[in-house]
Amino acid sequence: MKPKIRFIAAVVFAISFALTAKEIDSQSQPPKSSPQAASTSPADIQKKIEVYLRFSFALGPNVKLTIGQLSETPVPGLYKVTVEVAAPGSPTDNATFYVSKDGRYLVRAELEDMNADPFAENRKLISLTGTPSKGPADAKVVLVDYADFECPSCKQLDTTLRSLLTQFPEVRLVYKDFPLTDIHPWAMTAAEAGQCAFKQNPQAFWAFHDLIFDGQGFISAENVVQKMQDYATEAGLDPIALRTCISAKQSSEDVRKSIAEGQSLKITQTPTIFVNGRRLIAPDSSTLEQYVGFELSDHLIKSKIH
């Protein structure tokens, strides 16, 4: 998991404020409010947001806050705004807020359209073709697993998935590469090897996939190519052809295409799995079973949305 600085991690569902457009002179006193804002121009509202957030989260001048442009929303009287924060030693991050047009109320939340399927956009962004999968092609429930072969939590989820698919054979599993190359030195090579295994023999991919996760603790940046050849042999693949394929440009491009798809879904950590578009982060077996069971049922709530 990538670290989040305190401002982004804070759970702020509804924050109200009525500030003047002045800077806060003393950080020991809360911002003063006024019954009615003197000005409600977008520029003034942006300034109020910055002043309020700096005070609320004790963000000094060493923390850079960038308040984005205010944009219209489907809700009358409400703007949407993105706030970007950058602190020394922490990655730049951002959060979405909603602010009333009179500059009084600030809301940290997601805007939900209850007339629409909340997971339709996720499903639209996920391609189910040309990628490893197992289970019925017409499955009622499709799990899409964005994983990193070097990620310990991904190995834990893989163990859960093997059991779950035995319990629910009517479910389809799709595997997607999302190697975290900044922290896992051999993950990219393993992902490329997986792509090569799939191209060589789609049916043998899953045996190769399982061997990598089972042998995760024995793989290093120094021996990864040899290990991939060894696992290829065990999975019934041609190890020499696999090695040649790993070094080919196309293998890297295929992995990066999978990464780009994950980024379009705003994936930042592994494992991230989607259950018919419903996002689940980390190897949470009980929640995963809950989601699968719900999607397999003819639940009344679902009929109200779809």
Q: Which of 105-119, 146-160, 281-295 is predicted most confidently? A: 146-160
Residue 173 lies in a domain: yes
**pLDDT tens digits along 114-137:** 999 999 999 999 999 999 999 999
149 and 298 inside one domain = yes
Judge whether 172 and 139 are in contact, CB under 8 Å: yes
Residue 115 lies in a domain: no
% of residues, the chain, pLDDT over 90: 77
181 and 93 inside one domain = no
**pLDDT tens digits along 32-61:** 554 444 458 999 999 999 999 999 989 999
Q: Between 29 and 46, where is the model more confident? A: 46
Distance between CA atoms of residues 206 and 198, nearest Å = 8
Length of the chain: 306
The SS3 assignment for 133 reads strand
102 and 242 inside one domain = no
27 and 85 inside one domain = yes
54 and 182 inside one domain = no
The domain that holds 223 is classified in CATH as: 3.40.30.10
**Domain closes at, from 85, 107, 129:** 107
**Domain closes at, from 80, 107, 134:** 107
Region 130-145 average pLDDT: 96
Q: Between 39 and 1, where is the model more confident? A: 39
Residue 101 lies in a domain: yes
Per the structure, the count of domains in the chain is: 2
Confidence check: pLDDT of 9 > 80: no
**pTM of structure:** 0.75
Confidence check: pLDDT of 6 > 80: no
Q: Please state which of the ranges 101-105, 112-116, 156-160, 170-174 shows the lowest mean pLDDT.
A: 112-116
In order of 83, 100, 277, the CA distances from 97 in angstroms are 7, 10, 24
83 and 140 inside one domain = no
Closest to 87 (Cα-Cα) out of 52, 62, 51: 62
Which token pair is 118?
């909340």
Residue 117: its pLDDT value, please?
93
79 and 146 inside one domain = no
139 and 257 inside one domain = yes
160 and 279 inside one domain = yes
Residue 293 lies in a domain: yes
**pLDDT tens digits along 256-302:** 999 999 999 999 999 999 999 999 999 899 999 999 999 998 754 55
Mean pLDDT computed over every residue of the chain: 87
Residue 7: its pLDDT value, please?
42
57 and 173 inside one domain = no
Closest to 97 (Cα-Cα) out of 156, 157, 145, 57: 57
Residue 220 lies in a domain: yes
79 and 139 inside one domain = no
The domain that holds 33 is classified in CATH as: 3.10.450
Residue 296 lies in a domain: yes
**pLDDT tens digits along 76-102:** 999 999 999 998 888 888 899 999 999
Residue 113 lies in a domain: no
Residue 281 lies in a domain: yes
% of residues, the chain, pLDDT over 70: 85
Residue 110: its pLDDT value, please?
83
Cβ partners under 8 Å of residue 214, min gap 6: none
Confidence check: pLDDT of 160 > 90: yes
Which token pair is 281?
């982060």
Containing structural domain, residue 53: 6-107
Confidence check: pLDDT of 21 > 80: no
169 and 275 inside one domain = yes
Confidence check: pLDDT of 141 > 60: yes
**Domain closes at, from 86, 107, 128:** 107
